[in-house]
């Protein structure tokens, strides 16, 4: 009987750990859904990956088989007498590390399947609006009239703008000689902020300024938006000189779609300082470059769509322009058809990590084997 119980000890420990983790998951789900679990169901993004959870049982079986084949570290004449001796608490814990490892593997397998807790409410009212940022990556953005230069100043201020809009869906378009979608509308502010932080001049062809193409690409991303309020924020430092869509056409399309356009023009004159190198002391060497601006064009685009136009000459002015845009963006209500879903990857991966760490600590300090 004792032999059978010892053989079942890993299973008993595994069952206890499963119950403990299950309670923790239920508590976590209840906190996410305001204590109500009656209408929560699971949805799987990659259900086939759940087969990896069977790896936990394989780990348990492999560990038991390896222990059976293990050569004894101490040779004794009569093993039955040792087996009859009472076991200490460390002996009773000997099967726990294997159960912890098996459950950790199983949890990671389930996490990789992409579980999502879906609340049965059909209408999720989220306070916010849909915003597309249109960022100029033309080579003229290296001008240093806005410190440290126009591009890096714009990148920092835009990231701060994203952080201040927690309830909005925000996307981004970058343009130079042509326009490209950096990220579609998303509520993942960290991902968008990281994508913008990784932008550098030269990533796209910057030998032109296709303002019309940039705004047109942003409007295409807003075409399927169901938000009652939709906004495009255009940040550029020059006049339109490239692309196959004129700024006037893009503004007219925005007006027809009911999208407001806010424009921020960096630079007040056609000549601006640009860094051409550094001196012996590491200080920047500046020269003057020709960067044509067209404030009248951007003002017309903004006014035609019910937005606002800003023209700035320094970093403080840039920050102030975005603060004023923040104040001007009125709150609207997004009607989300479908259900509210919460990704459960973290709720499963964190317990798995904790189990692995605890197993390592048990092996190092509590269940060390000798000699």
Instruction: Look up tokens 């998303």; give the residue.
Output: 186
Q: Is 277 left (phi over 0), alpha (psi -120 to 50) or beta?
A: left
Contacts of 192 (CB under 8 A, 6+ apart): 162, 170, 171, 172, 183, 186
Query: How far from each other are the two terminal CA atoms of the chain, in whole angstroms?
Result: 30
Confidence grade of residue 368 (pLDDT, cut at 50, 70, 90)? low
Percentage of residues of the chain with pLDDT beyond 90: 30
Which tens digit of pLDDT belongs to each residue from 77-89? 555 655 565 666 5
Q: Which domains does the chain have, with CATH numbers?
A: 2-121+340-366 (no CATH), 124-337 (3.40.50.410)
> Which DSSP string do the residues of 350-366 spell out, in sequence order?
HHHHHHHHHHHHIIIII
CA distance 178 to 137: 10
- Reply yes or no on whether the pLDDT at 361 is more than 80: yes
Task: Output 176 or 65, whichever has higher pLDDT.
Answer: 176
List beta partners, residue 284. Answer: 278
Contact 304, 293 (CB under 8 A): no
CA distance 30 to 36: 6
Which tens digit of pLDDT belongs to each residue from 115-162? 877 654 444 444 568 999 999 998 888 877 777 888 999 999 999 999
Contacts of 141 (CB under 8 A, 6+ apart): 149, 150, 151, 154, 201, 206, 237, 266
Which tens digit of pLDDT belongs to each residue from 160-179? 999 888 888 999 999 999 99
Angle between helices 96-112 and 2-32 (to 10 degrees): 40
Which tens digit of pLDDT belongs to each residue from 264-318? 998 766 555 555 455 555 555 454 556 677 889 999 999 999 999 999 888 889 8
CA distance 230 to 218: 11
- Torsions phi, psi of 368, nearest 5? -65, 140
Task: Write out the E strands in the chain.
Answer: 40-44, 115-119, 123-127, 130-136, 169-175, 179-186, 230-236, 259-266, 271-278, 284-290, 309-312, 333-337, 340-343
Confidence grade of residue 217 (pLDDT, cut at 50, 70, 90)? very high
Contact 39, 30 (CB under 8 A): no
Tokens of 96: 């726990």
- Torsions phi, psi of 236, nearest 5? -145, 170
Q: Which of 54-63, 139-148, 213-222 has the highest mean pLDDT?
A: 213-222
CA distance 321 to 177: 25
> In the prediction, which pLDDT does 269 show?
62
Q: Which of 142-146, 180-184, 283-287, 340-344 has the highest mean pLDDT?
A: 180-184
pTM of the model: 0.56
As a whole number, the mean pLDDT across the chain is: 77
- Reply yes or no on whether the pLDDT at 214 is more than 80: yes
Confidence grade of residue 30 (pLDDT, cut at 50, 70, 90)? low
Counting every residue written for the chain, the total comes to: 371
- Give the SS3 label for residue 242: coil
Q: Which of 25-34, 51-60, 232-241 has the highest mean pLDDT?
A: 232-241
In the DSSP assignment, the letter for residue 47 is: G
Measured CA to CA in angstroms, residue 157 lies from 102, 187, 289, 318 at distances of 47, 19, 24, 8
CA distance 273 to 26: 60
Lowest-pLDDT choice from 48-52, 108-112, 267-271: 267-271
- Reply yes or no on whether the pLDDT at 199 is more than 80: yes
> In the prediction, which pLDDT does 272 show?
52
Instruction: Look up tokens 């294997």; give the residue.
Output: 98
The whole-number average pLDDT for the span 194-209 is 92
**Total Cβ atoms within 10 A of residue 319:** 16
> In the prediction, which pLDDT does 156 show?
92
- Give the SS3 label for residue 124: strand
Instruction: Look up tokens 């692995």; give the residue.
Output: 356
Residue of 166, 209, 212 whose CA lies nearest to 187: 166
- Reply yes or no on whether the pLDDT at 9 is more than 90: no
- Reply yes or no on whether the pLDDT at 93 is more than 60: yes
């Amino acid at each position: 009987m004792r032999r059978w119980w010892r053989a079942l000890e890993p299973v008993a420990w595994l069952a206890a750990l499963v119950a403990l983790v299950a309670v923790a998951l239920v508590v976590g789900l209840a906190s996410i859904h305001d204590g109500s679990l009656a209408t929560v169901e699971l949805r799987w993004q990659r259900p086939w990956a759940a087969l990896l959870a069977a790896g936990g049982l394989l780990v348990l079986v492999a560990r038991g088989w390896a222990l059976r084949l293990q050569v004894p570290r101490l040779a004794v004449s009569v093993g039955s007498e040792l087996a009859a001796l009472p076991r200490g608490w460390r002996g009773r814990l000997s099967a726990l590390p294997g159960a912890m490892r098996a459950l950790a593997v199983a949890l990671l397998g389930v996490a990789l399947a992409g579980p999502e807790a879906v609340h049965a409410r059909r209408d999720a009212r989220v306070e916010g609006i849909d915003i597309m940022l249109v960022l100029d990556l033309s080579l003229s953005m290296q001008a240093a009239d806005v410190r440290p230069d126009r591009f890096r100043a714009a990148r920092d201020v835009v990231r701060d703008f994203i952080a201040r809009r927690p309830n909005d869906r925000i996307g981004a378009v970058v343009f130079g000689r042509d326009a490209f979608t950096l990220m579609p509308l998303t509520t993942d502010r960290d991902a968008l902020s990281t994508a913008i932080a990784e932008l550098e001049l030269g990533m796209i062809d910057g030998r032109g300024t296709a303002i019309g193409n940039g705004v047109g690409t942003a409007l295409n991303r807003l075409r399927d938006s169901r938000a009652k309020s939709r906004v495009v924020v255009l940040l550029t430092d020059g006049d339109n000189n490239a692309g196959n869509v004129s700024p006037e056409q893009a503004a007219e399309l925005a007006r027809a779609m009911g999208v407001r356009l806010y424009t921020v023009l960096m630079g007040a004159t056609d000549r601006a300082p640009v860094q051409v190198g550094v001196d012996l002391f590491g200080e920047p060497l500046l020269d003057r470059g020709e960067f044509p601006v067209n404030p009248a064009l951007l003002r017309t685009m903004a006014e035609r769509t019910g937005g606002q136009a800003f023209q700035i000459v320094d970093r403080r002015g840039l920050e102030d322009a975005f603060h004023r845009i923040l104040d001007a963006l009125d709150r609207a209500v997004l009607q989300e058809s479908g259900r509210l879903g919460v990704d459960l990857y973290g709720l499963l991966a964190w317990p798995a990590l904790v189990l692995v760490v605890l197993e390592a600590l048990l092996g190092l300090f509590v269940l060390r084997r000798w000699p």
